[in-house]
Amino acid sequence: MRQHPAFVCAQCTRLTRSIRWNVSPFSLPSTKRLNSHATQTGRLFRVAIVGSGPAGFYAASHLLAKQQDAVVDMYEKLPVPFGLVRYGVAPDHPEVKNCEEKFTEVATSSRFNFVGNIALGHDLPLAALKPHYDAILFAYGAARDKGLGIPGEEPRRNVYSARAFVGWYNGLPDHRDLEPDLTSGEDAVIIGHGNVALDVARILLSDVDALRKTDISDYALAALAQSRIKRVRVVGRRGPLQASFTIKEVRELLQLPSVSFEPIPKELFPPEETISALPRAQKRLIQLLAKGSTNNPETSSKSWSLQFCLSPSSFEMTPDASQVARVQFDRNYIEPANPYSRSSKAIPEYTESGQPARTNLPASIVFRSVGYRSLPLPNIQDLGIEFDELRGVIPNDGVGRVTTLSGSVNPQNFSAGSPASHLPGLYCAGWVKTGPTGVIASTMADAFTTADAIYRSGLGGVKPEAERLGLRRTSWQDWQRIDEKERALGKETGRPRAKLGRVSAMLEALD
C-alpha cells in the first residue's frame, strides 16, 4: 500500500493535516492570484478528471478553453500521464503520439493540475472527492481485456493477453515482468481481428533494427531480437467484412519488408458487384485484402496470414503438459441471410456426423486479443453510480452525463426515449463511456461532447435567465473595446479620449 500523506480534506478523513482548499483540493501554487480572480468573478468551477489518457486530456482542453472559470484536477493512477497514448499506441507509430504535444500544452495552464500516482478508489476514496468538485469526469478507459472463455485459458506459460504484451513492449510497469516466451517455436497465433491483434503481429514480424529507432522498451527489444517466431496467424471468428481492424494497420503489415502474406481464399470475399456497392471504408479494406502482398514467400524470412471463421475451442498441450502446442478451433460460417454486413453473425459449422467441424493451428505462443473492457472503480457505487456490467460502461445519456442504469442510453433503446435520470455533477468520456472502440479522433470528438455537456450544465445562475430575456450584456473585454474606441476618437481631436455619450453608440462600437 502506497503512502500518500495528508491531502484529503479535514472534513473527510482524520489523516489530514490542516490544509485549506482555497482553489481546488490539489491547490495550485498560484493560489493567491486565483483567489483574487475568484473574488472578482464569483466562483471557480472545479472539475476532477479521473484518468489522463486522450479522453481526459481532450476534455480538459475543451473545458479550459471554453470555460474561463474552470479549474481542472486530473487524477492518474500512475506517476506519469497520457494513458494509452504512452502505453497503448505502438512504438512504431510515433506520429500518433504527437497528440502528447497538445496535452503538454494543456498542462501548462495554471488552471490545470496533474495529480499522479493516486489510484482513486484504492488509495483515496471516491466519496472524499465529491464535496470538493462541481463536476467529476470519469475518463479512466478500459482497464481489463476480455477473456476467451474456453478451457485451458487460465495462465499458461505461452498464452498471453495481447494487452499485457502491448503493455510489456511499451514499458507499462504492470507488465514489466511478463517475459513472453518468444523462443520455444516458430508459430504465433493471435486470436482476434482488431487493431491490437495487428499491432502485436507487426511487432512480432518487424525487423528488430527498425524497432530500435522507436521508444520500445529496451528489455522488449532484447527479447524480440532473440525471437524465433516466423509465422504469425491472426484468427477471427467471422469473415473479412466483419473484421474490426482498420486499413492502415493492414497496409503496414502488407508492406513490411521480407514478410509474405498468405492470400485469403477467394470464396471468403463477396462477389465483385457487392464489393463495389460497399461503404467506402469497407470497400477499400476488402480490395486491399484481396490484393494482398507482392512479397515472395520463397524469399521472405517471415510470413503472416489472416484466418477467418474460426472460434477457439481449446488449447492442446505439449506432451509434458508444460505449455500449449496447438489451438483447436471450431469452424463457423457467416449467416447466409445477411452475409455482407458488418454485424453479420457467425454460425457454428457441423460435420455430417453432427460433430462440430474443427481445425487445429500449431502455436508456440498464443495471444488473445478479443477486446478490452472497462471496470468499475472500487466503491464507485458510493457516488450513486450503477456500473453497467453487461456493456462494461458507466451508464450515461450519450452526451456524457452519468445516469441511472435504467435511464442510460444505448443504441437499442435510444429511440424508445426512456427518460434519462441524471446523477448531477458526474460525467464520463472516452472508452468508459462508449466502450473500447475507436481511434484518437473518435475519442477526441467524444471527449469534446462530454466537455460541452459539463460546460452547459455549469451555466447556472443569472446568465441563462438574462439570455432568455434577450439582454445584451457587456463583458470586461467589451469595455476594453469601447475604451479603445474612445481613446482613438479622442486622439483625432488631441484629447485623451472622447467618451461615447449614448448607450447605443457604446454598443455600436462592439458590432
Partner 1 sequence: MILWREVGQQLRHAVPKTVAGDMCLAPSRRYLSHSTTSWKTGVANSNQWNSSTRRSLQSPWQGWKRTQRCFSATAQAAHGHITPPKPGEEINVTFIDKDETKINIQVAEGDNLLDIAQANDLEMEGACGGSCACSTCHVIVEDPDMFDKMEEPSDDENDMLDLAFGLTETSRLGCQVLMNKELDGLVVRLPSMTRNLQASDFEDKKK
- The contact set with partner 1 (CB under 8 A) reads 30, 33-34, 36-37, 40-41, 61, 65-66, 68, 93, 95-96, 98-99, 101-102, 105-106, 108-111, 246-248, 251, 280-281, 284-285, 397-399, 401, 419-422, 424, 439-442, 444-445, 448-449, 452-453, 456-457, 467, 472-473, 475-477, 480-481, 484, 510-511
Q: Would you call 459 helix, strand, or coil by DSSP? A: coil
Q: How far apart (Å, rounded) are the C-alpha atoms in residues 123 and 131?
A: 17
Burial 461-494 (b: 16+ CB within 10 A, else e): eeeeeeeeeeeeeeeeeeeeebeebbeeeeeeee
For the bound state, the minimum distance from the C-beta of residue 73 to partner 1, rounded and expressed in Å, comes to 16
Adjacent-strand bridge partners of 382:
none
Least separation, in Å, of the C-beta of 66 and partner 1?
A: 6
Smallest distance from partner 1 to CB 100, Å: 10
- Angle CA 336–414–458, to nearest 5: 145
Closer residue to partner 1, CB minimum distance, 30 or 359: 30
Q: Flag whether 84 is marked binding.
A: yes
Q: How far is the CB of 262 from partner 1 (least distance, A)?
A: 22
Report the residue number, 11 or 442, with the smaller CB distance to partner 1: 442
Cell numbers placing 54: 486522450
Q: How far is the CB of 236 from partner 1 (least distance, A)?
A: 19
Measured from the CB atom, is 215 or 389 closer to partner 1?
215
Q: Judging by DSSP bridges, how do beta strands 324-334 and 310-317 pair with one another?
A: antiparallel
Please state the closest distance from residue 403 (CB atom) to partner 1, in A. 9
Q: With contact defined as beta carbons under 8 Å apart, do 182 and 221 qualify?
A: no
- Determine the length of the chain: 511
Q: Which three cell numbers stand for residue 43?
A: 466562483
Alpha carbons 508 and 340: distance in angstroms, whole number:
61
Ligand-binding annotation for 120, yes or no, is yes
All cell numbers assigned to 196 = 491490437
Identity of the residue, 30 or 351, whose beta carbon is nearer to partner 1 in the bound complex: 30
Positive or negative torsion for Cα 113, 115, 120, 124: negative
Nearer to partner 1, 158 or 457 (CB): 457
Q: What kind and span of H or E run contains 115? A: strand 112-115
8 A C-beta contact, residue 294 and residue 251: no
48 annotated among ligand-binding-site residues: no
Q: State which residue, 222 or 288, has the beta carbon closest to partner 1.
A: 288
Q: Measured from the CB atom, is 99 or 309 closer to partner 1?
A: 99
Is 249 labeled as ligand-binding?
yes
For partner 1, the closer of residues 413 and 442 by Cβ is: 442
Bridge partners of 231, per DSSP, are 187, 303
Output the nine-digit C-alpha cell for 439: 481511434
Q: Is 440 annotated as a binding residue?
A: yes
Q: Minimum distance between the CB of residue 92 and partner 1, rounded to whole angstroms?
A: 11
Identity of the residue, 86 or 233, whose beta carbon is nearer to partner 1 in the bound complex: 86
CB of 399 to partner 1, least distance (A): 6
Strands 372-373 and 144-145, bridge-based pairing: antiparallel
Q: How open is the CA angle 299-300-302, to the nearest 5 degrees? A: 150
Name the minimum Å distance from CB 466 to partner 1: 9
Kindly tell me which of 37 and 331 has the beta carbon lying closer to partner 1: 37
Tell whether residue 193 is among the known ligand binding residues: yes
The C-alpha atoms of residue 457 and residue 166 are separated, in whole angstroms, by 38
Residue 439 annotated as lining a ligand binding site: yes
Q: Shortest gap between Cβ of 170 and partner 1 (angstroms)? A: 17
CA distances from 328 to 26, 285, 358, 414 (A): 53, 28, 7, 40
Residue 253 three-state SS: helix
Question: 349 labelled as ligand-binding?
Answer: no
Dihedral pair phi/psi, residue 492, rounded to 5°: -60, -30
Distance CA 347, CA 234 (A): 20
Confirm if 63 and 447 have CB atoms less than 8 A apart.
no
Residue 196 marked ligand-binding: yes
Exposure pattern of 423-434 as b/e (b: 16+ CB <10 Å)?
A: bebbbbbbbbbb
Instruction: Tell me the C-alpha distance between 134 and 150, whole Å.
Output: 45
CB of 394 to partner 1, least distance (A): 17
CA 254 to chain centre: 26
- Nearest to partner 1 of 353, 477 (CB atom): 477
Retrieve residue 252's grid coordinates. 503496414
Write out the binding residues for NADP(+). Answer: 193-196, 237-238, 249, 438
Binding residues for FAD, as ranges, are 55, 76, 84, 120, 431, 438-440
Residues making up the annotated binding site are 55, 76, 84, 120, 193-196, 237-238, 249, 431, 438-440
